[in-house]
Amino acid sequence: LVFISHALQRLSGFDADFALARNVQLFQPKKQRIDQAINNEEPVRLQEFSEQNRTHGDVMASLLLLERRNGQRFFVVQQTFYLKEPRSDRSYLLSVLHPIETPMPAVLKSHQITELSEDEMGMALDEWGVFLIQAREDPVGKPLMLSNVQKACEHYALSFAAFLRTCEDYVGDLFVPKIGLVEVHAFKGVLEK
């Protein structure tokens, strides 16, 4: 990071003195299991985009889960622009984060949530991971991430809210999937007999 805007400092909780000269992985979820399940191949795509020869103005869009300094997580549409300095060989990546205003599921909301067993968390994360893989290829949302990012954020906020209604209940901060978890436990019970 060579520059961090005031808006990103407020959004992430990291001040410029702390964030500058660090890797952008600073904003990724610290719990690797969550990062891998939810962000999937997006960090790899970003890495490849940054390493390939590009022309000035090339852009890539990503749907990501990020983490604030206090551990709270949030979804964003990230647009990454390749910029080349005129009359120079120097190039930069400029990333613009557009937060998606949506309620967070308990399993993704904070690093402080500990009520889930590893199996339950794994199943919940797998459900969200599959949903997000499909969301990234959504024929409505995917083109909007490049052409009208505000509409893309609104589209994904609605999609996430609909998915939340079908996949979980809250018991305090305990994540209880409506679909899948009971069936998985029943299936595991049959296998163990």
Read off the pTM.
Answer: 0.78
Contact 75, 160 (CB under 8 A): yes
CA distance 160 to 180: 18
What pLDDT does 93 receive? 87
What pLDDT does 155 receive? 92
**Confidence check: pLDDT of 174 > 50:** no
**35-39 long-range contacts, CB within 8 A, separation 24+:** 35/65, 37/125, 37/126, 37/128, 37/129, 38/65, 38/108, 38/125, 38/128, 38/129, 38/132, 39/64, 39/65
What pLDDT does 173 receive? 47
Between residues 176 and 8, the one the model is more confident about:
8
Q: Which of 71-75, 171-175, 189-193 has the lowest mean pLDDT?
A: 171-175
**Confidence check: pLDDT of 176 > 80:** no
| Residue-wise pLDDT tens digits, 117-161 | 555 566 677 778 888 888 999 999 999 999 999 999 999 998 888
* Averaged pLDDT of the chain: 79
Alpha-helical regions (H) of 62-140: 106-109, 118-136
Q: Count of CB atoms within 10 A of residue 102's CB?
A: 18
Average pLDDT score over residue span 173-189: 51
What pLDDT does 20 receive? 82
Residue 77 pLDDT level (bands cut at 50, 70, 90):
very high
| Residue-wise pLDDT tens digits, 80-115 | 999 888 888 888 888 899 999 887 776 676 555 555
| Residue-wise pLDDT tens digits, 45-64 | 988 998 888 888 899 999 99
Amino acid at 129: G
What pLDDT does 98 receive? 93
